[in-house]
Amino acid sequence: MNISELTFDPSKCFIGGEWVSPRKNKTISLTNPSNGQILCSISRGDEQDIDDSVQEARKAFEGVWGNQTAVARGRILMKISAQVMEKADYLAKLEAIDVGKPLKQAKADALALSRYMEFYGGAADKIHGETIPYLEGYTVYTMREAHGVTGHIVPWNYPMQIIGRSVGAALAMGNAVVLKPAEEACLTALAFAEIAQSCGLPAGALNVVPGFGEEAGAALSSHNGVDHLSFTGSVHVGSLVQSAAAKNVIPVTLELGGKSPQLVFDDADLDRALPFLINAGIQNAGQTCSASSRILIHSKVYKEVSNLMRQRYESLQVGAALNDLDVGPLISKRQKDLVNSFIRSGDDLEKLAEGQLSQNAIQDGYFVRPTLFGKVPVNHKLAQEEIFGPVQTLIPFKDEEDAIEIANGTDFGLVSSIWTTDGSRQMRLAKKINTGQVFINNYGAGGGVELPFGGVKKSGHGREKGFEALYGFSKLKTVAAFHG
């Protein structure tokens, strides 16, 4: 794909319905992770551009956008959904060259963005309050209202999906949005703004300011004109954003990292499990918050499962995003170096298998061979820390109790999965495993636009996706009327 095919200028911000240069006219170079070459310049927005955006969002919230009916908001989101669907191939190519994800995976993300807009468009007029029986002479009811201006800080790994689940839900409830995409990948965020405007989203309802986290991101998290923050990213930055939100006493949703386990029992259907065990670890080159980086295996089937995984790993092909192989490059040289240092930390462990670099995986791309480690001690950093690369660790367990202890034995609690055909065990473990989502005999449930998602412990708090996000992106008002 040629960057000159873009119908918007990536070096501009989208503020108040206009494409504008950042006030200081500074830019950042965006790199194609598949070849290390510069793709284009994007804007380096800062405090002033964020302030402009918050003011435009406020105007929209108090004006045209905030006064739309719920059904009118929903219809605009539905139109956006249809446009995203129509442009899915274009958006997928943009995401592929920007993030480095294989084309098929990027296409799935574009379709997920369309589905989020459809889901939240349809939900916009279906969320309501309730009446509460109370003292004699009173009628009491609750109303769900928009927060006002919502700030959204998103990472580079799944721009379209994260925009879909957070911006979609926020707009459905009538909030006006300021979006700060990641400096490493923001083209689809800008393309989304262009599509939204063409579908009739009023000026100021969505503002997009690309820029560095410490500049634009920090300015958005501390701006006193923002009423709610949604942050997806690392634990370290999440705690900075939460501190900034605390100073303004505003709610914040944190979607952070994970060290998500899959538990394979000796009665598991291994034919069904195998693709999930591996794909959940290597999808998007392992740069997924819910990546399953720990595979816990009952000792009776450890040898069989590790052999099956080893064989599949050896056939994995790594290459440029547009070649659409199993695994693409990592986002940056920094990420590649970080993941390689994790792999080196396992030099004394059993390295079971590595994937293959395809011939066109050129040296300047940020490629790392998927790596599978066997019998990893539970306290090893490979079994405890988020790697954010295509690396999985196999850990044997003795029995159910042992499996639960290992599964819950990290700082994180985002997602888990249980592979067993024993129904009672499924129910017991679903209760005992401390993660925001538990899957039984699957992993990820096909994306799960409808399913509330979020973490416990250092994986964050608050829920996005599904109807639950609509509660997060709104506030509840109680009205108590005395009429005698």
Decide: 394 and 376 in contact? Cβ < 8 Å. yes
Shortest reach from residue 13's CB to ligand NAD, in Å: 14
Contacts 24+ apart (CB under 8 A), 89-93: 90/5, 90/191, 91/160, 91/188, 91/191, 93/1, 93/322
Closer of 302 and 342 to ligand NAD (Cβ): 342
Mark the segment that binds ligand NAD (CB under 6 A) among 4-12, 147-155, 267-275, 439-447.
Answer: 147-155
Closer of 66 and 211 to ligand NAD (Cβ): 211
> How many Cα atoms are found within 13 Å in the side-chain-facing hemisphere of 360?
10
Q: Catalytic pick from 95, 255, 354, 464?
A: 255
Mark the segment that binds ligand NAD (CB under 6 A) among 227-235, 262-270, 277-285, 465-473.
Answer: 227-235
* Interface residue with ligand NAD, options 14, 61, 120, 156 (CB under 6 A): 156
Mark the segment that binds ligand NAD (CB under 6 A) among 64-72, 137-145, 217-225, 370-378.
Answer: 217-225
Closer of 121 and 233 to ligand NAD (Cβ): 233
For residue 29, give both structure tokens.
């170079």
Residues 6+ apart with CB under 8 A from 42: 10, 11, 27, 28, 29, 30, 183, 186, 187, 210
Shortest reach from residue 84's CB to ligand NAD, in Å: 20
Between helix 88-99 and helix 70-86 the angle, nearest 10°, is 70
Q: Active-site residue 289, yes or no?
A: yes
Shortest reach from residue 216's CB to ligand NAD, in Å: 7
Q: Is 95 in the site for ligand NAD (CB under 6 A)?
A: no
Shortest reach from residue 464's CB to ligand NAD, in Å: 7
Task: For the segment 163-182, give every residue that binds ligand NAD (CB under 6 A).
Answer: 180, 182
DSSP 50-113: HHHHHHHHHHHHHTTTTTS-HHHHHHHHHHHHHHHHHTHHHHHHHHHHHH---HHHHHHHHHHH
Q: Is 237 in the site for ligand NAD (CB under 6 A)?
A: yes
Task: For the segment 43-72, give every residue that binds ligand NAD (CB under 6 A).
Answer: none
Task: For the segment 404-463, give every residue that binds ligand NAD (CB under 6 A).
Answer: 414, 460
Decide: 429 and 401 in contact? Cβ < 8 Å. no
Number of residues that bind ligand NAD (CB under 6 A): 29
**Which residue, chain included where needed, has tokens 């300015």?**
219
* Rounded distance between C-alpha atoms, residue 330 and residue 157, angstroms: 9
Phi-psi region of 7 (alpha: psi -120 to 50; beta: other; left: phi over 0): alpha
* Interface residue with ligand NAD, options 31, 34, 221, 393 (CB under 6 A): 221
Closer of 241 and 296 to ligand NAD (Cβ): 241
Identify the sign of the CA torsion 165, 243, 53, 4: negative
Active site members: 255, 289
Q: What is the contact surface with ligand NAD in residues (CB under 6 A)?
A: 153-158, 180, 182-183, 213-214, 217-218, 221, 232-234, 237, 240-241, 255-258, 289, 386, 388, 414, 460
